[in-house]
Structure formats: structure tokens, C-alpha cells
Structure 1
Amino acid sequence: MTNTTRPAVASGPKAVIPPIILGVLALVSAVEPLSINMYLSGLPALGRDLDLSQAGAQLTLTFFLAGMAIGQLVTGPLSDARGRRGLFLAGVVLLVLATAASALATHAWILFASRFVMGLAGGTAVVLARAVAGDLAKGPELARVFSLLMLLGGLAPVIGPVLGGLIVDGVGWRGVFWVLAGLNLLMAAAVWRFIPETLPAGNRSTGGLRPLLAAMGGLLRDRAYVGFTLGFIFSFSTMFAYVSASPFILQEYYGFTPVQFSVIFAVNTTGMFLVALTNARLVRRVGPLPLAKIGNAVLLAAVVYLVVAALLDASRWFILAGLFVVVASMGVNFANNSALAISRAGKVTGSASAFMGSGQFIMAGLLSPLVGLAAAAGMSQPVAMTVVMLVTAVIAAAGVWGGARVLGRE
């Protein structure tokens, strides 16, 4: 059955996306943070229940992120050929089913498989949310839209960790997945009701492997696109090194309880929320490029501070201060780096979004168990985390400044 009632969709660089569509896209954008953040405080308990080590429990993140990467890489180019809406609906329905399967998992391999499928479906939804936004807005307006999506979707990682901590304390980690299944069902209904087809048939590319490779080659030859994409991917990787390691570092190394951990996580994400709000107000006047430069410089400085604090075995409050700045800086980095990259994509917005998203989650998946493995080898957990963050932050900064140099020559 086709829903014939659609919000009007404006087009052009200065188009304003209807609020109802923006709200649904924000809900979709919450898939990834909710699917990660809500059950983080339950990772130690999950590991005990399924007889998994710290690195094994973190593999539930790795499988999800691998699915996110593959789902985006396949769906983005495919949507450039087939359109957005049908793939969008298929992805959100599959997400509901996979989340319920995760709640019912009785063995580690079942949870690994269901989390991988959750990632595939979530990747489909997330890449199409960015592609729909890219269809409807360009340039500074697109950066503003991404800031608003982060702002609205940012409620999820603020509320999610606290809610997740309470659920884990009350009914265990499985309860988190049942709550997620209900939220994903609501999201699926909203996508069906309110998201129109935003890529007309006349604007679609020819499907198949050859156009996918051609699109990839064209984008990878664009040094500005590559630079800003690296900035986006490795900014996310910097934060994810913290996200994947923090349940163990903050609870087991520094002694915070699951609820305290969830509050800390929410406070950090509130900083990102407020910075994203400020970015949305400034980007039309200042432009995304200057803000991206500032955001990446702040990120790099905060990570250097964290490395020094970890090496000196400073108080946990010094570590928390540095982590707050790292997470808050993402309110600038994510929106502007992604807008600058996607604005280079032309008619292959889906492909550009897919390459960004798949790279983002491939790197995050590789990093997820890395800190745990380094700690198992004898390195201090805070030092292991901050050293990984330093490497990724340096690459992110190099990418943004490299992309900026290309724009300066054009």
C-alpha cells in the first residue's frame, strides 16, 4: 500500500526542509547512537551472561559497526539508481526484526549475528537519511540541516545512556533491546508515513557495479572530498575509541557505578548537543569551513591533554574534563565535515554518503576491541585509549586542513 499524503518538498540550495521530514530524519539519525549508547553500561553484565571477555563483549559493537559499514556502502549507491523510499522502508522493517532477535539471543554467536543484521539495517536507514537531506539542501543550508539533525537526534545519546543504565540496573541488558525494538517500530511507521521519494527517476544513475566503481573513483579523485571525509571518519573514530572503552575504564578502572557512568556519558553528550546548537546558529554567517577548522583544532588539543593526563595517572576528574571537550567538539566536526564532503558529490549524493558512513563504521569497528586488547597486553587502559584517540585525531585534522587547502586553490 502506498501512502499518498506527502509533505511538500522544496528544492534548491536555500530550500527549507519541512519540519516533519526533519523530525523523522532526526529520529532515524538516532538509530546509531541509541543502538550503541543504551546498552554500553550493560556490556560487563552481557559478557558475564554469555561467557565473554572484555574484548569479546566489545565484539557486539564490532559486528554492529561492520553491518553499518556494509549496509551504507551497498545501499547508498543502490539508492542513487533505484531511489530512496523503497530501500528506506525495507531497512527500517528489518531493523525492528533484528533488534527483537538481539533481545532474545541466548548464545554469543546469535547476538553477534543479530547485531550484524541490526547494523546492516541501521546503515541502510542512516545513509538514506543523509542522502534525503542531501537531495533537499546544499551548501551552508546542508551544514545547518546536519547541525539540526545532530541537535534533534542528539537527544538520543543524552537520554539513552541514562535510560539504558536504569534499564540494565532494573531488568538487565536484554531489556534495552526490547525498548529499542519498540522505538524502531515507531521510526518505521514514521518513515512510511512522512518520507517521500526525494530522488526523481530522471535524476537517478544507472544501477550496477560499473557505475558504483565510477562514482567511487570520481569521488576518490576529488582531494577536497577525500580530505573532509577523512576528517569526518577519524573525528568519529576518536570519539568511538572513548565510547567503546569507557564502560570498562570509567566503571572498572575509575570506580564509577553503571548509573554514574550513564550520567557522565549523558553530560558529555549534552556538551555535543549544545555545541551543535551553536553551530547551527553560526554556520550561515561564518560558513562550514572555518568552523570545521576550529572544531578539529579543539579536538586535537583536547586529545593531547588527555594523553598527558593519562601518562601522569592524573585524577579521574582531569580525564573527565578532557573527555567532555572531545565529545563536545563533535557538535562542530560531524556536521561541517560531512556537509563539506557531501557538497562535493554532485549527482551521487548516496554514494558519497555511503563512502563516508562505511569508512566511519569500518574504522570504528576496528578500533572497538583495540583498547581492550592493548589493556590485556599490559598497557594501562586510559593510556591505551588516549593513544588511539591521538592517532585518529591527527589524521582527522590532516584531512580537514588538506581539504581546506584544495578549496583555497579553487
Structure 2
Amino acid sequence: MPETPPAGAAVREGPSGPPAPGRRPRRLPLVLILGSLTALGPLTIDLYLPALVEVSGDLHISQAVTQLTLTAFMAGIAVGQLVIGPLSDTLGRRRPLLTGLAVYVVAGFVCAVAPDPAVLIGMRLVQGLAGAAGIVIARAVVRDLYDGLGAARLLSSLMLVSGTAPILAPVLGAQLLRVTSWRGVFVVLTLLGLAVLTATAALLAETLPPAHRRPGGLASTLRTMRDLLRDGPFTGYLLTGSLGFAALFAYIAGSSFALQQVYGASPQTYSLLFALNSIGMVATGRLNGTVLLGRYPSHRILAGGLTALACASTTLVLLVTTTHAGLPWVAAALFLIACPVGMILPTTTALCLQRAPHTAGSASALLGTTQFLMGALAPALAGLGGHGTALPMAASVLGLALAAAVCFLALCRPWRAVPDPLAQ
């Protein structure tokens, strides 16, 4: 079990341990439902990306105003998790989740018929706030149903479902625009949200019993989050995973320009490389859940993932600064950067939630919001510097990878002779 946090910390209140096995749904439906809930937010972003140009022309707005439809959604997801996560600790998981999905469906429909940019931007904000319910509560449900190693394995399995969203969504969005308009894309998103809502209502029961719920109120929520952040290992896992997530976003933000403008990749080649890297990350997550976890201590797995990320990003910096390596070498280095994230994200998420068995909603909210905020800063880092070079992207990925490693060593102190935090 984890180290004992300071006296009075919220992360250790109440009875501990996994719930009775009889309350657990079958694993495959659970993976599909929770994976769909986790993927709905990213899918709402990526499926819409190919339609940005058409939105700008149809509504007669500038590119900057069109981008606000993305910014509003991202802001909604970040803020929504902070609200819905603690709320689910008070009311249970099912009511906030179903309410959020229902609001998402309504907001998606209004986006499809939006008469002007103001309505579209406002509804995208509402859609993000509501869509946050699926992301934050899915992680909390995992912690409700599984403890330690079981939670880590399930989180790794979820990457098989949620990880396919960034692979398929841009392609699907482009194909949809061949037969419909940008409004039709929102109709499809509305129908997807309705399908996820129906499946969740039918197949996912309440996972947080009343005895394990916490009193509500802003003051109680702030105290809970304060106690979580005072717990050194929790904050260490939080920052380690969020910085690893930001390193991935720095690669995503910078690779389009670097591979196409600097190394001459065609849009088709870039799409293929992006898909291969996403598949590599998903495959590593699957390997992490089925082979590594349980066979090796979680701290050793996390250290291995961070080391691989740092080595791959160092190699990329050397390639773009000291050699004239072509596209194949740079693409290989980017593939090796994406893969370790499949180990880092599910492992740090499980370790965070392990330290918060009865405040999993608040812990999940802090985790998700921190990841999205750091992910939002990563493109700015990757865009610093001059044009005509991939160095800003490579340097930002390396810097974030090293920062993640420093947080892990300084706050989690993995060399301590303690039992594996995820051991049952």
C-alpha cells in the first residue's frame, strides 16, 4: 500500500480496498463503455478539425474567431472536470455522468443549427463542460471498482478504445465532409453522444455506494484538493503524468510543421506517420497492462518509460542539430517518443487514484485539469524559435521529459524500499 500521508489528509479517510466483486460489471462491456466516455472529448475535437475552414467560410468569420470554437471546448473540458469530479464524490457517479452526457447531446444539436458564431462558440463551451463528465468520471469509476494493479491494468486497456480516437477521427471527419457540411459533423457527434448516453444508462450501474460518498460544498471540495496536493507522492505522480502528457502534445503540435515543411513529408505521409505513432502508443499501453504490470514494480515501469522518453527525445535533438538525417530517422525518433507515453499515462493515473480511494472524483479532476492545462501550454513551447528547423519541437519535448523525470525522483522517491504502491 502507499506511504502514510500526513494526518488528517483526505486521501486516507474511510475504509479502503476494492469493492465487492459482485458489483463489478463484465470487463469487456466496462472497457468499451469507459473507453467511449474517455474518447468522446478528444473525438469531439479531432472529428471537427477538418471542418474549420468550412465553418469560417459559411459563417463569414476569420480564422482567429473560428479557432475560438476549439478554445472554448478545451476550456470547458478543463473547468468542467474541476466541477464534476468533486460533485461525483458527493452525489455518486451515475447522476452527474448521465446529466453531463444529456447536456452534451443537447449542446451538440444546438451547434449543428447555430445561426451565428456567438451561439456556436457558446455551445462549444457548454459541450466541453458537459463532455468533461465522461473523462473525469470514467477514471473515478475505475478506482471505485478496482484497486492497485487491477486499476492500472484496466486503465491500460482503456487506451485500446480511447487511443483510436486521434487515429481515426481526422480521417472520418474528412470523409464526412465529402457527403455533408460542418453542420452534419455536429449531427454525427450528437448521435455518437446519444449512443454513449444510451449504453451508459443501460449498462453502467452506480459504482460509489452512499456510505463512501463525501459531504458537498465548496469549502469541503477545496479542503479535499488541498489535502491531495499536500500529499507528496500524489503530487509527484500528478506532475509526472501531466508533463509526460505535455511532451506528447508538444510532439503533436510541432510535428505537422516539422515533418511537412522541414522534412518534406506530404499530407498523406504525415497522416500515416501520425497514425503509426498513435498505434505504437496504444500497443505500448496494452503491453503495459498485460505483460509489465504485475511482473515488475510500478515504479520501475514508470522509471523505464521516463528513461525511454528522455533517450528518444535526446536522440531527436541530436538528429536535428548535429546531423543531416532525413525524414525516416526523424520519424523513427518521434515513434520512439510516442510509445513510452503508453506506459507513463496509465501508470501515473493508477498511482494517483491509488492514493485517493474515497476522493477519486476530486483526484481525477485534478489529474485531468492539470493534464489539459499543461497540454495547452505545450504547443506554445513547440512553436518558439525560428522557422525552418525542428529544434523548437525537439527541445520542448526533451525539456518536458526531463521535467517529468525530475518530479518523479524528487516527489515520489522511487528508490525507497517500500512495497509496490499498486500491489494488491
Normalising by structure 2, report the TM-score: 0.83
Write out aligned runs for 1:29-68 (5 A). Answer: 29-41=38-50, 52-53=62-63, 59-68=68-77
Cα distance between partner residues in 2 of 1:22 and 1:366 = 30
Question: Structure 1 residues 188 and 16 mapped into 2: Cα distance closer, same or farther (>3 Å)?
Answer: closer
**1:384, CA displacement in angstroms?**
2.7
**1:360, CA displacement in angstroms?**
0.8
Which residue does the alignment assign to 1:325?
336
Cα distance between partner residues in 2 of 1:104 and 1:303 = 44
**1:406, CA displacement in angstroms?**
6.1
What secondary structure is seen at the aligned counterpart in 1 of 2:413? helix
**2:306 aligned with 1:296:** yes
Q: Which runs of 5+ in 2 are unaligned?
A: 1-17, 419-424
Aligned counterpart for 2:378 among listed residues 363, 367, 371: 367
Greater shift, 314-323 or 185-194, is seen at: 314-323
Question: Structure 1 residues 313 and 77 mapped into 2: Cα distance closer, same or farther (>3 Å)?
Answer: farther
**1:348, CA displacement in angstroms?**
0.6
**2:184 aligned with 1:195:** no
Question: Structure 1 residues 123 and 47 mapped into 2: Cα distance closer, same or farther (>3 Å)?
Answer: same
Identity %: 36
**1:234, CA displacement in angstroms?**
1.1
Which residue does the alignment assign to 1:273?
282
Cα distance between partner residues in 1 of 2:91 and 2:359 = 12
Greater shift, 107-116 or 86-95, is seen at: 107-116
Which residue does the alignment assign to 2:232?
223
Q: Which amino acid aligns with 1:398?
A: V
Residues 183-204 of structure 1 show CA distances to partners (whole Å, capped at 9, x for unaligned) of: 2221111111111111111111
Cα distance between partner residues in 2 of 1:383 and 1:179 = 39
Question: Structure 1 residues 140 and 134 mapped into 2: Cα distance closer, same or farther (>3 Å)?
Answer: same
Question: Structure 1 residues 266 and 318 mapped into 2: Cα distance closer, same or farther (>3 Å)?
Answer: same
Residues 329-383 of structure 1 show CA distances to partners (whole Å, capped at 9, x for unaligned) of: 22111110110111011311111111000111112223345545x36xx444633
Greater shift, 165-174 or 185-194, is seen at: 165-174
Q: CA RMSD in A?
A: 2.9
Q: Which amino acid aligns with 1:95?
A: Y
Cα distance between partner residues in 1 of 2:246 and 2:415 = 24
What secondary structure is seen at the aligned counterpart in 1 of 2:187? helix
Cα distance between partner residues in 1 of 2:412 and 2:247 = 21
Which residue does the alignment assign to 1:3?
none
**1:221, CA displacement in angstroms?**
1.1
Which residue does the alignment assign to 2:405?
397
CA contact (8 A) 2:237 2:351 kept: yes
Residues 275-328 of structure 1 show CA distances to partners (whole Å, capped at 9, x for unaligned) of: 111111121222322211111111122222223333456423333222212222
Q: Which amino acid aligns with 2:138?
A: A
Which residue does the alignment assign to 1:143?
152
Q: If you compute each CA radius of gyration, which structure gives the higher value, 1 or 2?
A: 2
Normalising by structure 1, report the TM-score: 0.86
**2:377 aligned with 1:384:** no
Residues 92-123 of structure 1 show CA distances to partners (whole Å, capped at 9, x for unaligned) of: 11222333444455765554433322221121
CA contact (8 A) 2:408 2:414 kept: no
Write out aligned runs for 1:308-319 (5 A). Answer: 308-311=318-321, 314-319=325-330
Question: Structure 1 residues 101 and 318 mapped into 2: Cα distance closer, same or farther (>3 Å)?
Answer: farther
Write out aligned runs for 1:344-359 (5 A). Answer: 344-359=355-370
